[in-house]
Amino acid sequence: MAVQSNYTEDNIRSLDWKEHIRMRPGMYIGKLGDGSSPDDGIYILLKEVLDNSIDEYVMGAGKTIDISINGNKVTVRDYGRGIPLGKVVDVVSKMNTGGKYDSKAFKKSVGLNGVGTKAVNALSNYFRVESTRDGKSASAEFEKGELINKDLLDDSSRRKGTKVSFIPDETIFKNYKYRNEYIVKMLKNYVYLNPGLTIVFNGEKYFSENGLKDLLTDNTNESDLLYPIIHLRGDDIEVAITHSKTQYSEEYHSFVNGQNTTQGGTHLNAFREAVVKTIREFYGKNFDASDIRKSIISAIAIKVMEPVFESQTKTKLGSTDMGGDYPTVRTYINDFVKTQLDNYLHKNADTAEKIQRKILQAERERKELSGIRKLAKDRAKKASLHNKKLRDCRVHFGDTKNERNLETTLFITEGDSASGSITKSRDVNTQAVFSLKGKPLNCYGLTKKIVYENEEFNLLQAALNIEESLEDLRYNNVVIATDADVDGMHIRLLLITFFLQFFPEVIKEGHLYILQTPLFRVRNKKETIYCYTDEERVNAIHKLKPKPEITRFKGLGEISPDEFKYFIGEDMRLDPVMLDEHMSIDELLSFYMGKNTPSRQEFIINNLKVELDLIEENN
């Protein structure tokens, strides 16, 4: 029988704006994280402030934005119109307050709900906003959303604009650290979408002349392009398209009103549909959609009146209307692509011929693989049915639009003992486990056929749901969890090779990580310290003297489930796998996974010496 409890007026609470944001931060900025993932909260805080400066540029006010990050303090300075001085406090501390409700002032703004800077303010230890306009300046300072100081200067010689500084609250974003690689990618996207805008980050300038064409150029190796990038522009739409010579899957970059919609939405669906329809009509053949889109690398950006996104973090467009006198998003994009891409192909016969050859090649490969793919899918279904490889998380048992999708993680483990420990320790709501059997195959230089013929690769591909496109990736974080020994390192390398060879966009879009687990446990009767490096071990020994017990973990299977839960919970340490922008994927794989060349031998010897020197220093 249920326990009865009193329910009176005393049980009813009204939270003020900052209390509600701090109590439910996920409602406003998605997941929290520590900065190891590009969609972690600390980057959303930066984006929310930066979006306001971008909107100023879009409205024709201010061509430069200065950004600096010093330690954990972030500062964004634009040279736009400046916040009206009498509203400086209100726009950063009163919900549903802002200039973007007036569609005349901010016609196609990124944010229309008046929440952004309020969330930054509430979730920061320190927050300061300063506005300068008409020769006057006003500023306000806050701590965790609480106003502590405000000032108004009647005479100011500063340039007009707005300056915001904040320090994310370390009690909410635990052990966080900003990673420049993620910030630079974000800033590059902003300048691609706003040609003529200059963003200066810690002294480094970012600028684009050719918009989305520059995006594809910077993200691909020129030698891997099948044909020159097709770059099409229209009213409120821009498109860039090419095909890769070597990449297997589809790769898309999509944007709405300057927002990187990493999860796509109605505009991306319409674009993919429009490309297929236009190609079929141009060649007069009913090509299979997957053959047309195989190896495509493209980008689309549209501007929509008052867009509706499926979450506060604006990663997926949900609205179907363009706004104004335009038709629906789908019709608008279809009409644009049909006209412009068709015209381009008629004028560029060489490109049209290369695209046709690529489609026919994809068709031949698909038919050759059809039998193998059917058998592979049947095996994958049976394996999932009997739970042999994948222990899924509960998020996938319900609505596919679950707001916790950003938190989903798949741990790829080696061996039964390690997978057993993680399975018993995990959060069953958001964390899944895929168990490897033995070492994966070195797939460098092999064709996609091997993915279907090799049981491990086939089942991993099925678990991730990435056969055709990254759009349906089932887990936001794919984590390689192997032992910190030579064999474990080798398995990591082989798995990274698999992704680089067949699904590089998993890495490009920041979904692949390495799980860091402690090498040592140092403890006495009162305290236990887990150490991830030799340096941490030495410090722990000094702290817990005299003669604490020291355990060296040789493998993940040696860590009990009770202990493991600490390493995959709030304090989980993840190292993102990132690509060197100065080296192509083919060069990378050839060097590390190809034949044992003298240059690689020299690299190993030199780096081994550095590692040994560090160990000697620590001891």
Do the Cβ atoms of 481 and 559 come closer than 8 Å?
Answer: no
Q: What is the average per-residue pLDDT within 53-62?
A: 88
Going by their DSSP bridges, the two strands 409-414 and 431-436 should be labelled as parallel
Confidence of residue 614 (pLDDT cuts 50, 70, 90): very low
Model confidence at 612: pLDDT above 50: no
Partner residues linked to 195 by β-bridges:
none
DSSP state of 99: G
**H or E segment and range at residue 452:** helix 449-453
Percentage, residues of the chain above pLDDT 90: 40
Confidence of residue 403 (pLDDT cuts 50, 70, 90): low
Tokens of 31: 């997941």
Confidence of residue 609 (pLDDT cuts 50, 70, 90): low
Crossing angle of helices 349-385 and 329-347, in 10° steps, is 130
Rg of the chain over Cα atoms, rounded to whole angstroms, equals 26
C-alpha pair distances (Å), 616 with each of 387, 519, 605: 46, 17, 17
Model confidence at 110: pLDDT above 70: no
Q: What is the pLDDT of residues 208-218, one digit of tens each?
A: 999 999 999 99
DSSP state of 4: P
Q: What is the pLDDT of residues 352-371, one digit of tens each?
A: 999 999 999 999 988 888 77
Q: What is the average per-residue pLDDT within 417-439?
A: 87
The pLDDT assigned to 470 comes to 78
CB-count burial class (<10 Å; 0-12, 13-18, 19+) for 93: buried
* Cis? peptide before 504, omega within 30° of 0: no
Q: Which residues contact 349 (CB under 8 A, 6 or more apart)?
A: none
Q: What is the average per-residue pLDDT within 110-128?
A: 79
Q: What is the average per-residue pLDDT within 568-596?
A: 77
Q: What is the pLDDT of residues 204-241, one digit of tens each?
A: 999 999 999 999 999 888 888 999 999 999 988 999 99
**H or E segment and range at residue 193:** helix 180-193
The pLDDT assigned to 399 comes to 47
DSSP state of 525: S
**H or E segment and range at residue 130:** strand 124-133
Tokens of 441: 């195959």
Q: What is the average per-residue pLDDT within 373-394?
A: 72
The CATH fold of domain 212-365: Ribosomal Protein S5; domain 2 (3.30.230)
Tokens of 492: 């990591």
Better-predicted residue by pLDDT, 373 or 487: 487
Q: What is the average per-residue pLDDT within 79-103?
A: 76
Partner residues linked to 576 by β-bridges:
513
Alpha carbon distance 265, 343 (integer Å): 26
Residue-averaged pLDDT of the chain? 84
Q: What are the structural domain ranges in the chain?
A: 17-206, 212-365, 387-517+554-582, 520-552
Model confidence at 8: pLDDT above 70: no
Q: What is the average per-residue pLDDT within 453-465?
A: 88
Better-predicted residue by pLDDT, 413 or 15: 413
The pLDDT assigned to 414 comes to 84
The pLDDT assigned to 11 comes to 56
Tokens of 54: 């971008």
Tokens of 506: 């998993």
Class of the 17-206 domain?
A: alpha beta
The pLDDT assigned to 112 comes to 42
Q: What is the pLDDT of residues 561-574, one digit of tens each?
A: 888 888 888 778 89
> Cα 149 from chain centroid?
36
Torsion of CA 343, 344, 349, 355, to 10 degrees: -110
Model confidence at 179: pLDDT above 80: yes
Confidence of residue 45 (pLDDT cuts 50, 70, 90): very high
φ/ψ of residue 174, rounded to 5: -75, 135
| Best CA proximity match to 530, nearest among 578, 565, 492 | 565
The CATH architecture of the domain made up of 387-517+554-582 is 3-Layer(aba) Sandwich (3.40)
The listed range with the strongest mean pLDDT (11-25, 129-143, 247-261, 468-482) is 129-143
The pLDDT assigned to 32 comes to 86
Model confidence at 285: pLDDT above 70: yes
Model confidence at 313: pLDDT above 70: no
Do the Cβ atoms of 273 and 249 come closer than 8 Å?
Answer: no
The pLDDT assigned to 189 comes to 94
Model confidence at 261: pLDDT above 80: yes
The listed range with the strongest mean pLDDT (2-11, 293-302, 325-334, 374-383) is 293-302
φ/ψ of residue 224, rounded to 5: -95, -5
Q: What is the average per-residue pLDDT within 273-301?
A: 94
Alpha carbon distance 323, 318 (integer Å): 14
DSSP state of 35: S
CB-count burial class (<10 Å; 0-12, 13-18, 19+) for 127: buried
The pLDDT assigned to 263 comes to 82
Q: What is the pLDDT of residues 318-353, one digit of tens each?
A: 878 777 677 888 999 999 999 999 999 999 999 999
Long-range contacts of 343-350 (CB under 8 A, 24+ apart): 344/230, 344/232, 345/282, 346/282, 350/227
Q: What is the average per-residue pLDDT within 313-320?
A: 76
Do the Cβ atoms of 94 and 17 come closer than 8 Å?
Answer: yes
